[in-house]
Chains A and B, each alone.
Chain A
């Protein structure tokens, strides 16, 4: 019984029944399949998180974002500039309490190098309703290449708790068809 010492003192000599053994083998193979699925997705899948990251001082990241914004601002919304950087360019997005800066307007089916970093706390980049979720950390500049394949108005919601204003940290992201 499981609450008493094994009745057979040499329990390690007991055979494992074929049913149990078969299941162990199946479960093990399934583990391998899952492992290779992840590896395989790196070669054929289109959704793999970039490994490109740099250590960065928050102020210098902010400076890069400001330089980009100065160049490409097309309008503003409630005091926050909306920028429309050219396809293929480096796009900077600052996460800080409790807003995203600036607002981005991208073209459909074009790729952009998106740089993400945070100013003081960790924040969560959650693109909705697409549902892509990436952690943003202060001191780290994460560079990913994204290709919006739908047009419309999207939301970037902060999904890492960042203080009592966390629930107000949301901003639009526009994707427009090529004009």
Chain B
């Protein structure tokens, strides 16, 4: 095979790019964007339904759209994109051919078929069980079958990634250790294998159950195993988008990790300590002891949180160090003020970094605290939290890096550069809005996955405070903004890929040319600078830490005010 592999040389980075890998990256990224468009539309429609004054969809459509939304964005959009990231981080960054392009296409087809099968099944209306499909709710067999096929495809794609790493090592296409970004992607892929295995363990029996071959699946056991997939897969996302943060900082600003050791350790913590965090989905479940809950949320989770907290310093730190090296050295924040805010790849990544940390990270730890979960479980606080992680975090990051992938990998100029400039801001603001307002509504008790919180059809009813309705209205407005930002992205990507001008064969303008010819660095140097000078980052991280501690204890105070129970 190796003999037939065709390469081109990237004029910006000097990297050799396997053309087969390039087509696969394109196919997977395009599929991802298509599912984002579909899923985003569902998202808008449910947000408008939850806005009581509008109440867009009828009840059966609402739950169907909610099921489809979760599947299309969380599974399809993100995983297709991650496959593209894996191929990029292996074949492209390591100057290597992709291990087995043909099986990679098989993986792609499996994923498309699986995703389509599940979507069609959901749209037939008999499978509105939410993407979590908690038993004993029962979907049509093809719902589970589609997911299984999709997962098998994703697993094959991961196999290709591992294979490529092996080939790169054997054929010595790089020197020394793999780049940090590839290491992050490797973390993601390892977690993905664990995740997909858990998925098989739970989805195959559930499929058989829906066909009638198995007659009982314990609902608590189901949740435990399902979340071993459902939660760990979120750690795939985090690993992948943190890897992308480092990549974008490196490509645009020539940023070097402050310390390879610390950043890699942080990725390793994800692998070691995340799996049991599925426990934090079971905090108010019957039949599970407090000891088990505390042990598994904190031993497992807080060390994974530690990983994220390390990145919270090192990612802005590498950016600051790189900017200072470029001469933006005045005062505490010149490096930030004069950062390339007009470049959507940078602005998207930085907004994502800040919002993921402040909104998603803090709320996640609070929500995952054994006792505090009592005042938040299954309220809108939960989707509020995870829209901050998967939307302002992962999704915004993936959008941002698309603006680099387009010219560098897909060799197309971005068709509407002005629109691209605005896009991360519009989408970021909207996404921050839906996160915050859903969290706000949840704090006031509004349930998630609920068609009508005015309870008009119920003999009893309950009246939520008017502030809750205001939150839902603001959530609807933010959803319109986010959907607009999403549309700006989708239109731009699709237009550029299919009708865009082919990139001229000259290097893209970046702050520091990326070079793979590895200039030897002084041994003992701290990352980008000879000595580490990152006062701005230290200030930001201090603000983050203080907010974290305050918000954490405020919630204990809220908890202390509710009815005593034991």
Chain A residues within CB distance 8 Å of chain B: 1-17, 19-20, 23-24, 26-28, 30-32, 34-35, 37-39, 41-42, 45-51, 53, 55, 77-78, 116, 120-122, 124, 126-142, 144-150, 155, 157-164, 166-172
Contacts and interface: CB of A to CB of B under 8 A. Distances in A.
B262 A16 contact: yes
Contact of A2 (B134, B247, B317, B515): B247
Interface-centre pick from A39, A122, A147 (highest chain B CB count, 10 A): A122
B519 interface: yes
B538 A49 contact: no
B376 to A, nearest CB: 7
Contacts of A51: 288-290
Nearest to A45: B371
A85 B290 CA distance: 29
B174 A144 contact: no
Given A32-B302, A34-B552, A170-B460, 14 more contacts: A1-B254, A38-B294, A41-B371, A47-B371, A129-B464, A133-B377, A133-B379, A139-B219, A147-B564, A149-B564, A155-B462, A155-B463, A163-B137, A167-B458
18 contacts: A2-B256, A4-B516, A24-B306, A30-B549, A35-B298, A35-B302, A37-B369, A37-B556, A46-B564, A49-B374, A126-B378, A129-B445, A129-B464, A130-B563, A133-B284, A133-B378, A159-B450, A160-B134
A7 B524 CA distance: 11
A164 B63 contact: yes
B258 interface: yes
A11 B218 contact: no
Contact of A11 (B260, B283, B305, B563): B260
Given A3-B93, A45-B560, A128-B464, A116 B286 contact: yes
Interface in B169-209: 174-181
Given A133-B374, A149-B564, A4 B514 contact: yes
A9 B365 CA distance: 36
Q: Which 3 A-B pairs have the closest CB atoms?
A: A155-B462, A31-B302, A142-B286
A142 B129 CA distance: 24
A1 B552 contact: no
B284 A135 contact: yes
B136 A166 contact: no
A31 B298 contact: yes
Interface-centre pick from B369, B459, B566 (highest chain A CB count, 10 A): B566
Interface string B345-365: 000000000000000000001
A26 B371 CA distance: 24
B91 interface: no
Contacts of B453: 167
B526 A17 contact: yes
Given A2-B247, A5-B177, A20 B285 contact: no
Interface of A is mostly: mixed
B318 interface: yes
Contacts of B134: 122, 160
A120 B453 CA distance: 23
A46 B371 CA distance: 10
Interface-centre pick from A37, A78, A158, A161 (highest chain B CB count, 10 A): A161
Nearest to A155: B462
B250 A121 contact: no
Interface of B is mostly: loop
A34 B304 CA distance: 13
B251 interface: yes
Interface of B: 13, 59-60, 63, 93, 128-130, 134, 136-137, 174-181, 218-220, 246-247, 249-251, 254-263, 283-290, 294, 298-299, 302-303, 305-306, 309-310, 313-314, 317-318, 365, 369-371, 373-379, 443-445, 447-453, 455, 457-465, 514-516, 518-521, 523-526, 532, 534, 538, 541, 545, 548-549, 552, 556, 559-560, 562-566
A137 B451 CA distance: 22
B261 A146 contact: no
A131 B286 contact: no
B564 A146 contact: yes
Contact of B457 (A16, A26, A163, A167): A167
A70 to B, nearest CB: 22
Contacts of B445: 126, 128-129, 131, 157
Contact of A147 (B63, B175, B369, B565): B565
B284 A17 contact: no
A116 B565 CA distance: 14
A167 to B, nearest CB: 4
Interface-centre pick from A2, A5, A31, A121 (highest chain B CB count, 10 A): A2
B534 A19 contact: yes
Given A1-B254, A164-B59, A6 B180 contact: yes
Contacts of A172: 460, 462
Contact of B465 (A46, A50, A129, A130): A129
A134 B282 CA distance: 10
Contacts of B284: 49, 133-135
Contact of B514 (A3, A9, A17): A3
A6 B516 CA distance: 10
A99 to B, nearest CB: 8
Contacts of B256: 1-2, 7
A114 to B, nearest CB: 8
A23 B398 CA distance: 28
Contacts of B560: 45-47
A77 B459 CA distance: 9
Contact of B219 (A46, A137, A148): A137
Contacts of A146: 563-565
Contacts of A26: 545
B292 to A, nearest CB: 9
